[in-house]
Structure formats: C-alpha cells, structure tokens
Amino acid sequence: MESALPPASDLSPSIVSFLNDKFRTNANLNGAPALLSELQAQCGDLDRTLIDLNRSLGSSLLAYASFSDRVHGVLGDINAQLTGLGSSTRSCSSDGEGKERAEQILGEELPALAKEVARVESVRTYAETALKLQTMIGDIEDAVSSTMKKNSWKHSSKQNSEEMRLVAIKTLKLIEDILTSVTKTHPQWEHLVSAVDHRVDRALAILRPHAIADHRALLTSLGWPPPLAILTSSTPDTGRSTEVLNPLFTMQGDLKDQYCENFFALCSLQELQRRRKSRQLEGYNRELALHQPLWVIEELVNPISLASQRHFTKWVDKPEFIFALVYKITRDYVDSMDELLQPLVDEAMLTGYSCREEWISAMVSSLSTYLAKEIFPKYAGQLDEDSITGSQSQARISWLYLVDLMISFDKQIKSLIEHSGILLSLQDDGDFSKVSSLSVFCDRPDWLDLWAEIEISDILEKLKPDTSDERNWTMKVQGAVLLSATEDYKAPAVCSAYLRCLSSVVDRCRSLPSISMRSRFLRLAAVPIIQKFLDCLLIRCQEAEGLTALTDDDALVKVANSINAARYFESVLKEWSEDVFFLEIWSGQSDQLGISVGDQNGNVEPVEGLESGIFYEEIVKLEEFRIEWAEKLSVVILRGFDAQCRDYMKNRRQWQEKSEDGWTVSKFLVGALDYLQGKMSVVENGLNGIDFVGVWRSLAAGIDRSFFNGILMSNVKFYDGGVERFGSDLEVLFGAFGAWCLRPEGFFPRVSEGLKLLKMKEEKLQNSLAGGEKWMKENGIRHLNVPDVEKIVKSRVFTS
C-alpha cells in the first residue's frame, strides 16, 4: 500500500492540508474507507454535473446554429429581393408600365421590405439577449448549487463558497442592468423579463437565506451578542459606559475578513433587491417599498433583542428597567456602527442608509414590538378586569406611568440622534415613527383612544378641587397678559389650572410620531378639557341669572368673571393656533380632507371647522358665550335704567317748561343716572377692557333707542324751555359715558340729531318739510329718515 502512494512532494498544498486535517492520528485511519466512499460519491456528483453541463452546452450550440441558419436564409431572401428590385427598376424605367411598376415598388414593396428587415433585426436582438440571459442565469444557478454543496466544507471550501457567492451577486447585477435596459428600450418583451425575474427570484430565494445563515454563524463565532451582564453602568460625567466589550471591535485576522466579506455580500444583495423593486414598481409610489430596514443591522439587533427579552419577562411590573436597558444597549454600540460598518455599506453602493440611524431605529422597533405583544395587552386586560370590579385607579396609574416612560425614552433617543448629527435626515421625510416607542399606537388606534380616555379622566378628576374652590373664581391670574397683547384680561385663577392641564396634554401629544395621531389625540384628550371649562362657565352664569336675574352686584361680578375667563382662554387658544406645531396639525388635516388651499385667483377656500386650526370650533363657542353674556349684562342694566326712567318718560308736561332753578338735570332722571353709574362702575371694575367696551356701547345704543322712541316719537310738544331742558338732560347723560370715549354723543346718534332738529330756527325747520332727504344731508341728519324728521319738526312749538 505504501509503495502505491505518490511522494508527498508531488501533492498539492490543498491536498496535503486536507489529508493532515483528516488523519491527525493513527486512530483516524479507521475512517479512511468512509472518507474514500464520500470522496467517490462527490466525484460521481461532479461527473454527472459535468455531463449535464456538456449536454446543456451542446443543446445551446445546436439551437444557436439552427437559429443562425434561419437568419442566414432570411438575409439571403432579402438580398435576392433587393437584387430583383434593382433589375426590375432598370428594365422597366423606359416605358409607362415600368413607371407604374416603380411607383408600386416604392409605395408598397419597399416599405414592406424595410419592415421585414426591422423585424429580423428585432428577432436577432431578442435572440442574442435571451441567449445571453440564459447563459448568465445558468451560471448563477450553477454557482448557487455549488455554494449549497460546499457550504458544509471547512475553511478553504467556505472561502471558495463566499467567493462564488460574490461572483453570483455580480452576475445578478449584470442581469439586472440588462433587464433595466430591456424595460426601457423594448417594453414589449415583458414575457422575457417576467421569465428571467422568475428564475432570478428562485436563485435569490436560495442565495439570501444561505448568506444570512453564514452571517449568523459568523456573529456567533465572534461572540455576538455579548452577555448583557457585562454592560457596566455609565459614568455620570460623560454619560457613556466605561467598559463595554464590543466584539465588532475585537475581531481580528481571517475572522474579520470573513465577516466583512459576508457583510458586503448581504449589503450587495439588498442593493440588488432595491434595484429590482425600483424597476418592477416603476410608475407607482415606490418610497415605502424601496426603503426597507438594513438586513445586516437587523441581524445584529435580533439576537440582542432575544437575549434582552429573557430579562424583560421579569420586569413586566417594572417597565422602567426595560427602557433603561434598551437605551443603554443602543447608546453603547451606536458608535461602532458608524466607524466599522458604514464604510462597508458605502462600498456596496447601498445609498440612503446610515448604519447609526438603522441601529437606533432597529433597537426602538424591537422595543415597540415587545411592548405591543407583551406589555400593552396585559395592561389593557387589567383595565378590563378593573372596570368589572369598579376599581380602575391602579390600572390607570400603571398605564399613564408606562406612557410617561415611553415619552421619556423617546426624548433620550431624540437627544442621542441629535448628538449623532442625523436628525436632519429624519426631518426631511417627516417620519419619526421608526425612532419612537409610541409608534405602537400607529397600528393600534384603539389603544390611543384608550390612552386619551384615561388621560382626560385623570385630568378632569384633578381639576375638580380647583373648579369647586370659589376663591379660584374671584382671585385673578397674576400677569394674565399674553405676549401678543397688552390687555389685562382680569382672568380668574381657575383659568391657570385648566390651561396648565391643557398644556400638559399638548406636551404629551408632541411626542407622538405622526400628525394624524397628534390630531386624533388632541381631539380626544384636549378638546374635552375646553368643553368642560366652557360648561363650568355656562353653569355659573346660569346660576347667577336664575337666582337674581342679574339684578344685584354679586351676580354681575360673577358673570363678568366668567366672561373674563372665556376671553382669556379664547386668546390663549388663538395664540397657540399660530404656533408651528398646531399649524402642521391643521395642514395635515387639510391634506387628508383634500382641502383646496387656493383657487385660481389665489383666494383661500377654508373648510368649515378648519379655518383657524384644530381648536377653531372651541374658539367659536367661547366667543359666542362671551358675546351672549356680555349682551345680557347690557340688557339687564338697560332694563333697570328704563325702569328708573319710567316717570321721566311719562312726564310730558316737562317739555313745555324750563328746568327747575338750581337743577342742571331733571329730577326724575337723577335716580336713573345714579343707577346707571353705579351698575357700570361695578361692571367696569369686574370686566376686562375689551368686553367692557362692547357692554357700554351696546348700552348706549339701547338708551339712544329708548329715549328716541319714548320721548321724541311720543307726540309730545317741545317748547323753547323744553328743548333747553332736554338738551341739559342729554348733556348730563353723555357725560356719564364721557369717561370711556371723547365724543359720547356719537354713540347716541338718533337723540343727538333729534336734539339738533329741535334747536333749529323755525324758518329752517319749515324748509325741511319741503327739502326732504337733500335738506337732511345738507344739515348733517344721517341717522333719521324723512318720517322721523317730519314728526320731530311737527312736535316743535315756537312762541313769538
């Protein structure tokens, strides 16, 4: 046996290495027959594969030769037709029939011949492309088959397998280049493209899982994931871990080379997949389909996620530990993604990917998945159980605490992203869901509704003591002046409590990753706070009106405080609505509803409910409440003033006499003016300046109407003394409103113009009866009509 063996020097290094590996000791010699059988079986497989390849090559050559013969025959026929065409043209050019024949050739046969030539050229191109693709796909299938067979061999075979995989990926990219060109230049060849895609899909279905399996095996040999127990606590001053063992930094030699090659292969496969999807989805919205998570980062995150979940199961009742661990892992390994892996991704031409961003996104996504599968269902179940027993406090507290942890975690992640310098890329596409743990609510809007329900229930419960404390309705808010205005709203302190709770809901809403979720949450959790506040204001005003009909000063102050609260709340909401955050929400709602931002003339066409932002309807309700109850204040004071003026109005003889000696105002009007000044003083002290202006102007208009109808239009006779008395009374009345304007008579237009008519000379008044509207305009009478002027003129009595 030994004499039959060749000298060791004649053996190749690979064979020597193979034999040394298999026969390390004498005991290994017993396995020689089994090894021989295995090698013979493998040789037999290779021989059969070679025979199949030879047979396939022969078939391909035969098909090509047959096709070449057909093309040669077609070209020969074309050449003969061209020769016949030339001879026919020369022989028939001398007579009339030849001329007709030439026209027929040029008009019919020559275009048909050109079309046939183009068809033959297209067939030739199709055949060459199909043959080229057939050859390349055959190479890929052979490479994939060889990769599978050699996948179980040791070191050198593994290395050859990786090289063959890279060659297959390179060939796949060349095929994709051809298919992309064919799609653009020959869209009618869709069946060819479909057939090639089908075979490529089959190859990728084998190639990608094997590449991922090799990648996972390499990660295991590297020691990934590292034991979570070695993640030491971070130092307070730097915020970073002092000793974090990162296998990606410690790998060396052949193991590092293998990992990098396999990493590059996976990235190349993903880039190929993106190119194929881009071609196949041409003409559709491709962004969602094209931007998929980075495969290599997923393979790093998945084992860490599985290892972490073993700890998570112990911390279901202490979720703060879950968030702390996930954040620590994310932060400790984020730099290695950028320093070590990003160059490999760039080399694979996988554009638009940041390993740092993908690492953070994948870690947050794994946390969100765990929360959605394990934590939230348990908490929701506790809420259901407590609702049956009628005790929901603890379950609600746990839910809100979990949400607080999620918001705090998202802020930490956002801070980590900002320090990484990749916030801009997230802002460009506006999609923060992939780096937010609150993205669990994207797929479960019912949980978002439940959160909003718990939130509003908790807030309204906290607001009960502030609402029931009467001191909060009388004590004013310190500094209740908005930045955009200088007006003191005299708002009660209860406004601060409601606005503080509303602001907390808005702040929590800011953490939600999408505009639609923010809008939904605000409508469910913020709007009810405003509605509750408005209900409280309405109840207080109705109570004051029901008890005293607003006749006493305390009732007036109570209504004034409610109006102040509504004015302040309305102004705050309007100021908020101008903030970018609320404008984005409103714009997002407008886009979802298909709102036109302008017509052809550039005019805005608002849709009802969205004119001024998400709180528009609530702002309108607050405004309507203010206007209604401010008008009621005016009506109540006017009603009391009219009651005080009843004797003054009924005394018709006073307009025939002069004023009493020593009196500048009629005796019967003194009480009414005193009542008016007393009530207006109470309202002025209690009501904010803006709404007080509306109250006294409305009151002035009511008094003007009352005096005009009750005196000037009551068929009384005005003598000279009566005109003087009426003028004195009105001067005192105007003086009561002089503290709030420079020309109070301008707010009593009808009685002022009536007095002006009464003071005119007799001749001038007689001209008014003939002059009509022209005379009225010339004499500054603009608020009375002709019948009114005629009635006043007839009531004037002149004594000679």
In this structure, the answer to whether residues 257 and 312 fall within a common structural domain is no
In terms of pLDDT, which residue wins out, 386 or 134? 134
Contacts with 434 (C-beta within 8 Å, 6 or more apart), sequence order: 361, 364, 365
* Other beta carbons less than 10 A from residue 617's beta carbon: 17
- Lowest mean pLDDT across 105-109, 166-170, 575-579, 755-759: 105-109
Q: Which amino acid is at 786?
A: V
- Phi, psi values for residue 492, rounded to 5°: -70, 160
Q: How far apart are CA 706 and CA 700, in angstroms?
A: 10
CA distance 260 to 218: 10
Take residue 111 and report the two structure tokens written for it.
């275009």
Check residue 39 and give its pLDDT.
76
Kindly tell me if the per-residue pLDDT of 597 is higher than 60.
no
Reduced to 3 states, what is the DSSP secondary structure of residue 492?
A: strand
The verdict on residue 56 lying in a domain is: no
Section 307-327 average pLDDT: 91
Residue with the bigger pLDDT between 382 and 18: it is 382
Element housing 539 (H / E): helix 527-548
Per-position b or e across 417-453, b if 16+ CB within 10 A of its CB: beebebbeebeeeeebbbbbbbbbbbeeeebbebbbe
Whether 32 is covered by a domain: the verdict is no
pLDDT in tens, 337-365: 888 888 888 888 888 888 888 999 999 99
Domain that holds residue 451: 444-593
Which secondary structure element, helix H or strand E, spans residue 191, and what is its range?
Answer: helix 190-222
Who wins on pLDDT, 232 or 304?
A: 304
| Mean pLDDT along residues 83-89 | 60
Helix crossing, 786-795 with 749-758: angle to 10°? 50
Contact criterion met (CB below 8 Å) for 688 and 489: yes
The span from the CA of 358 to the CA of 301, in Å, is: 10
* Same domain as 439, residue 457: no
Mean pLDDT, to the nearest integer, of 174-191?
A: 90
Residue of 525, 527, 534, 523 whose CA lies nearest to 505: 525
Q: Point out the least confidently predicted range of 379-393, 523-537, 603-617, 694-708.
A: 603-617
d(CA 4, CA 620): 105
Q: Which two tokens stand for residue 104?
A: 């027929």
What confidence tens digit (pLDDT) does each residue in 719-746 have? 988 899 999 999 999 999 999 999 999 9
Same domain, 501 and 366: no
Last residue of a domain, one of 443, 460, 480: 443
Q: Is residue 601 situated within a structural domain? A: no
Whole-angstrom distance, CA of residue 23 vs CA of residue 677: 118
The share of the chain scoring above pLDDT 90, in percent, equals 40
Strand partners, 476: 492
Residues 457 and 385 in one domain: no
Identify the CA nearest to 755 among candidates 704, 692, 697, 689.
704
Task: Give the residue with greater pLDDT, 293 vs 61.
Answer: 293
Q: Is the pTM of this model over 0.95?
A: no
524 dihedral zone (left: phi>0; alpha: psi -120 to 50; beta): alpha
Enumerate residues 6+ apart whose C-beta is below 8 A from 538: 625
- C-alpha distances (whole Å) from 338 to each of 297, 366, 568 are 12, 20, 51
For residues 255 and 335, state if they share a domain: no
Say whether both 542 and 472 belong to one domain.
yes
Q: Write down which residue in 534, 566, 593 finishes a domain.
A: 593
Q: Which pLDDT band holds residue 556 (cuts at 50, 70, 90)?
A: very high
Tokens, residue 733: 């009345």
520 & 578 share domain: yes
What value does the mean pLDDT take over residues 285-292?
60
Give the domain CATH number at 464.
1.10.357
Q: What is the per-residue pLDDT for 349?
A: 82
> Distance (Å, rounded) from C-alpha 35 to C-alpha 23?
10
Token output for 360: 């953070």
Q: Residue 283 pLDDT > 70, yes or no? A: no
User: Are 432 and 337 within one domain?
Assistant: yes
Average pLDDT over residues 231-254: 60
Residue 71 in any domain: the answer is no
**Model pLDDT, residue 608:** 42
Per the CB < 8 A criterion, the answer to whether 499 and 426 are in contact is no
Helix (H, G, I), strand (E, B) or coil at 28: helix
Determine, yes or no, domain membership for 510: yes
**Do 454 and 352 share a structural domain?**
no
**Claim to verify: residue 115 and residue 133 sit in the same structural domain:** yes
d(CA 239, CA 344): 29
| Residue 277 maps to a domain | yes
Write the CATH number for 721: 1.20.58
Query: What element of type H or E holds 733?
Result: helix 720-737
Beta bridge partners of 234: 241
pLDDT of residue 95: 53
Verify that 303 and 267 share a domain, yes or no: no
User: Please, what is the average pLDDT of the chain?
Assistant: 82
> Six-digit token pair at 225?
């994931």
Q: E strands along 239-280, which residues?
A: none
H helix or E strand, kind and range, residue 146: helix 110-150
CB-based contact 235:242 (threshold 8 Å): yes
CB atoms within 10 A of CB 388: 8
Same domain, 370 and 453: no
Cα-based torsion angle of the residue sequence 402, 406, 409, 415 in order, rounded to the nearest 10 degrees: -150
Q: What is the percent of the chain where pLDDT is above 70?
A: 78
State both tokens at 645. 């003026």
Taking Cα atoms as reference points, which of 272, 281, 267 lies closest to residue 171? 272
Domain boundary among 443, 466, 488: 443
What b-and-e string marks burial along 106-142, b requiring 16 or more CB atoms within 10 Å of the CB?
A: eeeeeeeeeeeeeebeeeeeebebeeebbebbeebbb
Are the CB atoms for 130 and 192 separated by under 8 Å? yes
Question: What confidence score (pLDDT) does residue 237 get?
Answer: 41
- Does 781 reside within a domain? yes
Mean pLDDT throughout 652-669?
Answer: 78
Structural domains counted in the chain = 4
Which residue has better confidence, 540 or 766? 540
Give the separation between CA 102 and CA 115, rounded to whole angstroms: 19
Mean pLDDT along residues 460-477: 91
- Helices assigned H by DSSP within 578-688: 580-592, 616-644, 646-650, 667-686
